[in-house]
Amino acid sequence: MKILLTGAAGFIGSHLAEALLGKGHSIIGIDNLNNFYDPALKRKNLSEIEATAKKLKGKFECHQGDICNEDFIVPLIKKEKPDGIIHLAAMAGVRPSIEDPILYETVNGLGTTVLLEASRQAGIHHFIFGSSSSVYGLNTKVPFAESDPVNLPYSPYAQTKRANELQCHVYHKLYKMNFACLRFFTVYGPRQRPDLAIRKFTELMYEGKSIPILGDGSFRRDFTYVDDIIEGVMKSLDWITQNSSQPKYEIFNLGESATTSVLDLIHLLEKASGKKAKLDFKPVQPGDVPITYADISKARQILGYNPQIPLEAGIPRFIQWFKGI
């Protein structure tokens, strides 16, 4: 199949591009290569995808542009006529969204609307959306299930992701398009963004600097290795493109279904790196939630999703990659 992949140069997008190439798909990538973090890292990711495409004799091309720009998106999708769209491009992160909610609403809201409308106009029926566990907010029922209430988001980022899921549902109902909305839980691994906790903590440990710990370090996260996330996306692509008498719309949690405290995470980083962490305890920040914890029974049952890499195995893999960059 020909897949249009937004956010192709990013952390998850670059891994997904290589996995799609490995399955024989051709890829039309989109990325704006913005400066949310160093664009050189994204260009390096693109170089690695291109090397993979060359090795596999596959087709990959990436267009630099803004998903909010109709004059860029609509003609591109009409010209390429992809068999499906995987939409990962977004302004990411809870705390930055509190500092600039208008930017997040613009990129995540308008950008997704432009892609959905371009898809409708081009007659594309398969759309996978990268959502986030942040939509669960301060949910106290654990683990989090897709049927849990998500009407009380705790950050502008979470609000945009939930709104995007609802946008997809509108297009499913009005235009009989097929959707899989995937709620990612705290993804880590090689190529991880520099602003994310595991990479940030590791860099500070190697530099001999203090790690800022928000609260008492008891906050827990469902850390999910990027290879397991990619497996879930690939299985959702198989599911969404299977013949069905009725249009599909489903939301799936993709996580490890295990939680680890921040302090326990740091102990694993110390063990894998041989470094000793210096800790600097700070007040909890607005938008932070005490726990994320994925109930993945729905993804197991419908998609055959089966994560393989627990945190104890994933951290050493991440450290090995980090030491090589």
* Residues marked as catalytic: 157
**Token pair for 277:** 């962490």
Q: Phi first, then psi: give them for residue 61, nearest 5 degrees.
A: -140, 145
The sign of the dihedral angle between the CA atoms of 261, 322, 229, 211 is positive
173 CA to centre of own chain: 25
The sign of the dihedral angle between the CA atoms of 298, 304, 308, 309 is negative
Q: In what order do the strands lie in the sheet with 178-184?
A: 60-64, 26-31, 2-6, 84-87, 126-132, 178-184, 249-254
Per the listing, tokens 């705390």 go with 95
Beta strands (DSSP E) in the chain are: 2-6, 26-31, 60-64, 84-87, 126-132, 178-184, 187-188, 210-214, 220-221, 224-225, 249-254, 260-261, 278-282
**Token pair for 244:** 């069905």
Instruction: Check: CB of residue 57 under 8 Å from CB of residue 25.
Output: no
**Token pair for 266:** 């740091």
Helices 197-207, 311-323: crossing angle, 10 deg rounding: 50
